[in-house]
């Protein structure tokens, strides 16, 4: 619990820095550190699989892709002019924030055993996955067995992303 506030502070600092900094390579690395702090938050909340994916993809692979993209373009965002914020945004965004904070009061507490999410089908997975699949990691059992069709479609999405990048970027070959 003592680590949560410094980590959230670090998240806000790195997210703001990645938006505000002018040098785009610095922005990419700040975004990588943001992903790493977010991975620590996930690990602190007990979602180790999500933390692993966030650390590997957000801080590792996405940083490399951003850098490779920047090498093809320019490293400074001097051509992008930030216009003054329109007045509907100035009025609407704080209202949206207040609305979200008001809605967050109705969310169940962290680890609440009687919330809707933990009473519907999660107990079935938690109780039966070891006997059904001999897989101690419940997340893997749900992803690859109970919900394997979703994972199949996600694999198709990744495959399509690779194909689309090759079709768009590799011209003339």
Partner 1 sequence: MIHPHDSAIVRTLGRIVIPVAQLFGFYVLVFGQYGPGGGFVGGVVIAASMILAILIFGIDSPDSIMARNILHGDGLGLLIFAGVGGLCMIGGGQFLNYTYLQIPNLDQASQHFIGIMLTQIGVAVDVAVTGVSIAISLSFDDDEIPQDEGSHG
Residues that bind partner 1 (CB under 8 A): 48-49, 51-53, 56-57, 60-61, 64-65, 68-69, 71-72, 131-137, 139-141, 143-145, 148-149, 151-152, 155-156, 158-159, 161-163, 165-166, 168-173
Q: How far apart are CA 32 and CA 85, in angstroms?
A: 27
As measured in angstroms, the least distance from the Cβ of 118 to partner 1 is: 20
Distance from C-alpha of 17 to C-alpha of 28, rounded to nearest angstrom: 10
Q: How far is CA 24 from CA 14, 15, 66, 67, 70, in A?
A: 14, 14, 9, 9, 8
Long-range contacts of 130-138 (CB under 8 A, 24+ apart): 137/49
User: Which residue number, 19 or 61, has a Cβ lying nearer to partner 1?
Assistant: 61
Q: Contact at 8 Å (CB) between 66 and 29?
A: no
For partner 1, which is the closer residue by CB, 77 or 145? Answer: 145
Nearest distance, CB of residue 154 and partner 1, angstroms: 8
Q: How far is the CB of 72 from partner 1 (least distance, A)?
A: 7
- Which residue blocks in 21-147 are alpha helix, DSSP H? 24-44, 48-53, 62-72, 87-104, 116-119, 122-133, 138-141
In whole angstroms, the minimum distance from the beta carbon of 161 to partner 1 comes to 7
For partner 1, the closer CB: 30 or 58? 58
CB closer to partner 1, 116 vs 169: 169
From the CB of 137, what's the least distance to partner 1, in Å?
6
Q: Is the CB of 13 or the CB of 36 nearer to partner 1?
A: 36
Residues pairing with 21 in the sheet: none
């Amino acid at each position: 619990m003592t680590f949560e506030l410094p980590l959230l502070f670090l998240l806000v600092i790195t997210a703001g820095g990645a938006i505000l900094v002018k040098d785009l390579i610095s922005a990419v690395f700040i975004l990588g550190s943001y992903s790493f702090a977010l991975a620590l938050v996930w690990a602190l909340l007990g979602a180790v699989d999500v933390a692993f994916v966030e650390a590997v993809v957000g801080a590792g692979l996405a940083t490399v892709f951003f850098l490779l993209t920047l090498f093809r373009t320019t490293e400074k965002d001097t051509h992008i002019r930030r216009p003054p914020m329109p007045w509907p945004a100035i009025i609407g965004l704080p209202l949206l924030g207040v609305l979200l904070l008001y809605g967050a009061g109705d969310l169940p507490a962290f680890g609440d055993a009687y919330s809707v999410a933990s009473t519907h089908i999660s107990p079935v997975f938690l109780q039966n996955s070891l006997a059904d699949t001999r897989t101690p990691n419940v997340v893997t059992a749900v992803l690859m067995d109970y919900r394997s069709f979703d994972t199949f479609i996600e694999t198709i999405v990744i495959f399509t992303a690779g194909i689309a990048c090759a079709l768009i970027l590799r011209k003339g070959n």
